[in-house]
Chains A and B, each alone.
Chain A
Amino acid sequence: MGKVMLYGGIDIGSLTAQAVLIDGKRQFSSVHNSSLFLAKSIPVKPNPVDSAKAVMEEIFRENGLEWKDLNYCISTGYGREKIVEEGMANENVSEISCHATGAFSLDPDVRTVIDIGGQDAKVIRIDESGNLVNFVMNDKCAAGTGRFLEVMSRTLGVSLEDLGGVALKARGRVDLSARCSIFAETEVLHFLQRGIDVGSLAAGICRSMAERVMALVRRVGVEKEVMMTGGVAKNVAVKRELERMIGTRMVDSKIDSQLVGAYGAAVLAMKSGRSV
């Protein structure tokens, strides 16, 4: 690889940390599955700065790159300000803007982004130029976030990855209250004790999750196309429920949905870096 013009995005989530590198000269197509960027995802460390350092160093090591190859970098997610203070990024941008930019760069027809991470759920509206028009984010409650699915899958004894599949295959569905993840856990246990099958409960959980997210969706409205990003986008049952409730199929993010925020940060870094 010749001399690169690297632009970076670092996104620290509640469960995983992501790094994306874009080469301003677009030379990565040969090395990363025909994508125009490099990416790395690792489980988070207790401290966001350590996570950022680890994920960046790994991506550098794997690709024979160094910190000094980095032209401009933007941090987002947890501890994004600290990462700038530590000198690993030039500026920080909210994950809301990063997901908007990421989704729009991947598919310029996208007008609505539903991003559900481990702790947060956001619905973001963007205009035809990719600008942030409006957004809404869940309040403190975990019921509409990945955390809810995590707690529930543990209660059911199904892995988080399998939950969506189990739900899709279920014959029935139990209606659960949609209000609070703590109550929902008690409720699920109550149903398990009554001998209700795991599949129906998984389906109920995914429906309940989607309903929570829909409450946010209604706040800002939906315009086509819709893209789902973040870890929960991998849950097929939640995605299917949301599509049914909204009444449209969502577009595919083409890349790992968890990388969209970091990708957006890298795209923004490229814009900022070039104008510097």
Chain B
Amino acid sequence: MVEDNMQKVINLASEIFNEEVKAWKEAGGRVIGYSCVMTPPELIQAAGFLPYRIRALGNVKTEKADSYLSRFNCSFCRSCLELGLDGTYDFLDGLVETNGCDHLRGMFENWQYAKKTEYFHYLKVPHVINENSLDYFEEEIRLFKESLEAYSGKKVDAESLARAAGEQEAVRERVRKIYSLRERELPAFSGFEATALVLVSSAISPQRFLELADQIITEREGGKIAYRGTRLMLCGAATDELELVKAIESLDGVIVTDSLCYGTRAYARIIDPQAMLSKPERTLAEAYLLDLLCPRMYEDYARRRDYVLKAVERSNVDGVIVMHNKFCDVHGVDNVQLRMDLERRGIPVLQLEKEYGSIADVGRIKTRVQAFLERIGVIESGGRL
């Protein structure tokens, strides 16, 4: 029955209104959507709602969204907005905005302008880390909690918050485990499978995810995937494009690790659930702000670079693909710095600018990745083409 669980995950990952969410709604549950990795799902869960991370799954239609956002806005945000406007996301009872980046801010403003959700909250996240900004963010977490309480009509008590934090920590722990199995010399997961698992981890209830993940980990731990060729790391913009990962891996390469927003970056933080009993807001503020490895943060590039360098070493990566969606300034610029710093250390890098989810573009992306793999092949074979 090995592939049944994995196939179930892939199916869940391939649908926005997946069957788990449908069941939750049918049982009378409410769902709150968020987009940014800075939103603590523990709070949403403790308030009695299902936290759901907004995704576009490679959707390229943006006709409705384009009468609000422009073609100079990131196509990922345009795709998400489209799904908000065309009814795909009608199952969301509420939305949580963050100031993740300029495109995201615009996306949420338009979403609210065109189509109001029952619940809406704007969680404001600082761009620098210091005592002041931590205090500020702690207050923001408090306000977020209060607004959730107002919407649910009941207080979030310490015990339910500790329980939710415990489950969310368990989710992150499983994802970290999956990554460690993926990063090892004989990977137990392909990049495609790991991405599907990550996507599902924020689209169904934690309890269900833990059941599935535990079974899959047990099934896979002792084995290895059929893999040949080059070990790659994927860095850059928000991507939930399973098809893109699949396309890259259809060549002679496997993505063994990443530094993606819909990837490791969302699962690095460790939160002690017990802390929820004494100072929950401070604990969450520290965990979320201090562990944010996002190019939207300033005075913090060195840490992002070191995170990538460590992953390259740990996972024995042969080459790094840094990509960004066209018009994404934060990743677009960070990727240049990253490319320079990696190349300076002799690590081959492919800098890729792309449109989100464009199937028409996949062939061209594959050409570039294939040439990159050929280039790495040359380096590894000692210079013979």
> Could you tell me which A residues sit within 8 Å of B by CB distance?
78, 93-97, 100-101, 120, 129-135, 137, 139-140, 268, 271
Q: Can you offer 21 A-B residue contacts whose CB atoms are under 8 A?
A: A94-B368, A96-B367, A96-B368, A96-B370, A96-B371, A96-B374, A101-B385, A129-B383, A131-B375, A131-B385, A132-B374, A134-B375, A137-B364, A137-B367, A139-B353, A139-B354, A139-B355, A140-B360, A140-B361, A140-B364, A271-B385
CA distance A100 to B370 in the complex (A): 14
CA distance A132 to B360 in the complex (A): 26
- CB-CB under 8 A for A120 and B385, given A94-B371, A131-B378: no
B355 is contacted by which of A94, A96, A135, A140 (Cβ under 8 Å)? A140
CA distance A159 to B25 in the complex (A): 62
CA distance A139 to B383 in the complex (A): 28
Could you say which residues of chain A place their CB within 8 Å of the CB of B368? Answer: 94, 96, 135, 137
**Chain B interface, DSSP helix/strand/loop, else mixed:** helix
**A132→B378 contact, CB < 8 A:** yes
B224 to chain A minimum Cβ distance, whole angstroms, is 25
B370 to chain A minimum Cβ distance, whole angstroms, is 4
A94 is contacted by which of B370, B378, B384 (Cβ under 8 Å)? B370
Could you say which residues of chain B place their CB within 8 Å of the CB of A95? Answer: 367
**A131→B354 contact, CB < 8 A:** no
Q: Which residue of B lies closest to A100 (CB)?
A: B385
* Among all A-B residue pairs, the 4 with the closest Cβ atoms: A96-B371, A94-B370, A94-B371, A97-B374
B176 to chain A minimum Cβ distance, whole angstroms, is 34
**A140→B374 contact, CB < 8 A:** no
Q: Does B99 make an interface contact (CB < 8 A)?
A: no
A182 to chain B minimum Cβ distance, whole angstroms, is 11
Query: What 0/1 pattern do residues 352 to 377 of B give for CB contact below 8 A with A?
Result: 01110010110110011011001100
Q: Does B78 make an interface contact (CB < 8 A)?
A: no
Number of interface residues of B (CB under 8 A): 19
Q: Does B331 make an interface contact (CB < 8 A)?
A: no
**B326→A130 contact, CB < 8 A:** no
- CB-CB under 8 A for A131 and B383, given A139-B354, A140-B358: yes
A135 is contacted by which of B363, B371, B384 (Cβ under 8 Å)? B371
Could you say which residues of chain A place their CB within 8 Å of the CB of B326? Answer: 139-140
CA distance A127 to B323 in the complex (A): 26
Given A132-B378, A139-B355: 17 more A-B contacts, CB < 8 Å: A94-B367, A95-B367, A96-B367, A97-B371, A97-B375, A120-B367, A129-B383, A132-B371, A132-B374, A133-B375, A137-B368, A140-B354, A140-B355, A140-B358, A140-B360, A140-B361, A271-B385
CA distance A95 to B326 in the complex (A): 24
Could you say which residues of chain A place their CB within 8 Å of the CB of B383? Answer: 129, 131
Q: Which residue of B lies closest to A124 (CB)?
A: B371
Could you say which residues of chain B place their CB within 8 Å of the CB of A130? Answer: 385
Could you say which residues of chain A place their CB within 8 Å of the CB of B375? Answer: 97, 131-135
CA distance A96 to B372 in the complex (A): 9
Could you say which residues of chain B place their CB within 8 Å of the CB of A134? Answer: 375
Could you say which residues of chain A place their CB within 8 Å of the CB of B355? Answer: 139-140
CA distance A65 to B163 in the complex (A): 75
Q: Which residue of B lies closest to A180 (CB)?
A: B71
**B371→A120 contact, CB < 8 A:** no
- B354, B355, B361, B378: residue with the most chain A Cβ atoms closer than 10 Å: B378
- A94, A96, A137: residue with the most chain B Cβ atoms closer than 10 Å: A94
Could you say which residues of chain B place their CB within 8 Å of the CB of A135? Answer: 368, 371, 375
Could you say which residues of chain A place their CB within 8 Å of the CB of B358? Answer: 140
**B374→A78 contact, CB < 8 A:** no
CA distance A96 to B358 in the complex (A): 22
Q: Which residues 28-42 of B sit at the A interface, judged by CB distance below 8 A?
A: none
A125 to chain B minimum Cβ distance, whole angstroms, is 10
**B367→A97 contact, CB < 8 A:** no
A132 to chain B minimum Cβ distance, whole angstroms, is 5
A58 to chain B minimum Cβ distance, whole angstroms, is 25
Could you say which residues of chain A place their CB within 8 Å of the CB of B361? Answer: 140
CA distance A137 to B375 in the complex (A): 15
A97 is contacted by which of B354, B360, B384, B385 (Cβ under 8 Å)? B385
Could you say which residues of chain A place their CB within 8 Å of the CB of B354? Answer: 139-140
Q: Which residue of B lies closest to A139 (CB)?
A: B353
CA distance A206 to B60 in the complex (A): 33
CA distance A131 to B326 in the complex (A): 30
A212 to chain B minimum Cβ distance, whole angstroms, is 15
B379 to chain A minimum Cβ distance, whole angstroms, is 8
**A78→B363 contact, CB < 8 A:** yes
Could you say which residues of chain B place their CB within 8 Å of the CB of A93? Answer: 370, 374
B344 to chain A minimum Cβ distance, whole angstroms, is 14
- B355, B374, B383: residue with the most chain A Cβ atoms closer than 10 Å: B374
CA distance A205 to B136 in the complex (A): 54
CA distance A93 to B373 in the complex (A): 10
Could you say which residues of chain B place their CB within 8 Å of the CB of A132? Answer: 371, 374-375, 378, 385
A55 to chain B minimum Cβ distance, whole angstroms, is 20
A127 to chain B minimum Cβ distance, whole angstroms, is 8
Could you say which residues of chain A place their CB within 8 Å of the CB of B371? Answer: 94, 96-97, 132, 135
CA distance A130 to B358 in the complex (A): 33
CA distance A268 to B368 in the complex (A): 18
CA distance A124 to B352 in the complex (A): 15
CA distance A120 to B364 in the complex (A): 8
CA distance A45 to B375 in the complex (A): 31
CA distance A134 to B326 in the complex (A): 21
CA distance A130 to B374 in the complex (A): 13
Could you say which residues of chain B place their CB within 8 Å of the CB of A271? Answer: 385
CA distance A133 to B375 in the complex (A): 7
Could you say which residues of chain A place their CB within 8 Å of the CB of B370? Answer: 93-94, 96
CA distance A130 to B360 in the complex (A): 31
Q: Which residue of A lies closest to B349 (CB)?
A: A134
CA distance A94 to B364 in the complex (A): 10
Query: What 0/1 pattern do residues 53 to 86 of B give for CB contact below 8 A with A?
Result: 0000000000000000000000000000000000
CA distance A244 to B385 in the complex (A): 32
Q: Which residue of B lies closest to A97 (CB)?
A: B374
